[in-house]
Structure 1
Amino acid sequence: MTNEIELEALDLAALLCSRVCHDIISPVGAINNGLEVLDEETSEEMKAFAFDLIRKSARQASAKLQFARLAFGAAGSAGAEIDIGDAEKVARGYMEGEKASFEWTAPRALMPKNQVKLILNLVLMAVAAVPRGGSIKVTIEGEPTKPDVTFHCSGPSARIPVAFEKLIPGAIVDVNIDAHAVQPYYAGLLARSCGMSVAAVLDGADVIITARSSAPAPAAEEAPAEAPAVEAPATETMLADAPEAAAEAAVAETTGQA
């Protein structure tokens, strides 16, 4: 039996910040490299290359920051809802810088923010499931408050992310939590906060990641059975008249014998 241990609030905040910085450092570094090329090179061809690098990297940095704001940030006050279309927009922007192709199928609706954050964190889990690229297909069905979310991840060397079985449920005994591992751990916290369960299975060479509502369906209330109607006054009359009827029958029988 595994023990569930929660990270201290300061440790969790620090690791999530490290995760965001890890995603942003690469495109920001590429922008810096492009600027250095512009400063040092006189060739028009190299300058054109540097400008292209800066534009592409700036778009990636912006997309990753917008994604992180929704996936890890407050994204509104407590109890706020988020348009699932906004989640799709930032997810598509993030995936433009990744190796895998990306498909998103979902109705346009408002959804509780923690469920939206969970879905976006599972996008990162899906990316980790296909490290050499491939395709990721996201399908969201059901009611906005109880969505049925499926990630179909296909690609060479597709695999269930490392320590998924421990990090999602929060069993972090003997698991080193670093900037990479904190993301699935955080996804597990989100899942438990909104009453959802997350699972990952191998389907042939593909990985299927699902998020379902774990709250039991409310039991249907049965209408109480109607008691048979009882006419109390009639019953009382019958009981009250019974001794008199018996006496009259006895008198008649005696008279007849006489």
Structure 2
Amino acid sequence: MADIIELKATDLAAMLCSRVCHDLINPVGAIGNGLEVLGDPTQTAMAEGAQELIANSAKQARNKLEFARLAYGASSTAGTDFDTRECERVARLLFEIEKSDLDWQVPLILLPKHKAKLFMNMLLIATMAVPRGGLVTAKIDGAAGEEVFTLVSTSDPEKRQKTLMPSGVEELLFGNPEGGVDARGIQPFYTGILARMTDMELKIGVEDGVFTFSATPKPAEQAA
């Protein structure tokens, strides 16, 4: 097995910041375009469309920021545990701007901060498996401290769309991508870091049109 790539803290922070900027540049740019139209007296016929563009783009930017704050940042949640009700709130904001639907099967529990971040980043990867729409099921089972995370994604069969394995995700998750790590792949790489920090074992695959992504606690001797 190839050695796991170790990033400096400054490089990791820079790449995650770049990822957030990449997610926001399109909706923020669209807001700017809409404002330009509203400010141009010769474009009054397009004012209604510009207002709709600004509203939709502002919603996208806000929802992506809310998700990034929890999945990557410190968030404003007090203490070291995250309430899964906050995770659900942020997840549903994400799915308001995604093409897929969310089936949230998570009990009301407290999760250690890094485990909560792991689950939310796994959820984001699960959406990548159905980029044109489908259903993403998010589940947490098990006793406190022994939680098992399961994400299942399926495309809409009526639309004849394929469920995909996101490109390069497997190598990035396990920390040994052949071409190294850049800002484009930092999110799944960061997910792998969170899994190793929390002693969770990841499994990912696509079979018969179903994408399954799970994280289970490592045995105590293996974690040690």
Q: Does the TM-score normalized on the shorter chain lie above 0.5? A: yes
CA contact under 8 A between 2:104 and 2:138: conserved in structure 1?
Answer: yes
Q: Deviations over 1:112-149 (max 9, x none)?
A: 01011001111121122122222211112222422211
Shift of 1:41: 4.9
Equivalent-residue separation in structure 2 for 1:147 and 1:45 (angstroms): 55
Q: Over aligned residue pairs, what C-alpha RMSD do you find?
A: 2.0
Equivalent-residue separation in structure 2 for 1:194 and 1:31 (angstroms): 39
Q: Give the structure 1 partner of residue 29 of structure 2.
A: 29
Unaligned 5+ runs, structure 2: 156-160
CA contact under 8 A between 2:60 and 2:97: conserved in structure 1?
Answer: yes
CA contact under 8 A between 2:37 and 2:43: conserved in structure 1?
Answer: no
Matched, 1:140 2:140: yes
The size of the alignment, in residue pairs, is 216
Matched, 1:200 2:204: yes
Matched, 1:19 2:24: no
Q: Give the structure 2 partner of residue 66 of structure 1.
A: 66
**TM-score, normalised with respect to structure 2:** 0.89
Equivalent-residue separation in structure 1 for 2:218 and 2:114 (angstroms): 15
Q: Give the structure 1 partner of residue 75 of structure 2.
A: 75
Shift of 1:43: 6.0
One-letter amino acid of the counterpart of residue 134, structure 1: G
Q: Give the structure 1 partner of residue 92 of structure 2.
A: 92
Unaligned 5+ runs, structure 1: 218-258
How much identity, in percent, do the aligned residues show?
A: 42
Structure 1 residues 41 and 94: alpha-carbon distance in aligned structure 2, compared to 1, 3 A threshold: farther
Matched, 1:158 2:163: yes
Q: Give the structure 1 partner of residue 213 of structure 2.
A: 209
Shift of 1:175: 2.3
Shift of 1:45: 5.1
Greater Rg, structure 1 or structure 2?
1
Equivalent-residue separation in structure 2 for 1:152 and 1:196 (angstroms): 18
Structure 1 residues 79 and 167: alpha-carbon distance in aligned structure 2, compared to 1, 3 A threshold: farther
- 22-31 or 33-42, which deviates more: 33-42
Shift of 1:44: 5.6
CA contact under 8 A between 1:105 and 1:140: conserved in structure 2?
Answer: yes
Equivalent-residue separation in structure 2 for 1:47 and 1:77 (angstroms): 39
CA contact under 8 A between 1:126 and 1:209: conserved in structure 2?
Answer: yes
Equivalent-residue separation in structure 2 for 1:45 and 1:103 (angstroms): 41
Shift of 1:76: 5.9
**2:220 partner SS:** coil
**2:202 partner SS:** strand
Q: Give the structure 2 partner of residue 180 of structure 1.
A: 184
Q: Give the structure 2 partner of residue 47 of structure 1.
A: 47
Structure 1 residues 78 and 50: alpha-carbon distance in aligned structure 2, compared to 1, 3 A threshold: closer
Q: Deviations over 1:136-182 (max 9, x none)?
A: 1111222242221111111222122222332112123x224222211
CA contact under 8 A between 2:205 and 2:211: conserved in structure 1?
Answer: yes
Q: Give the structure 2 partner of residue 189 of structure 1.
A: 193
Structure 1 residues 70 and 196: alpha-carbon distance in aligned structure 2, compared to 1, 3 A threshold: same
- 8-17 or 72-81, which deviates more: 72-81
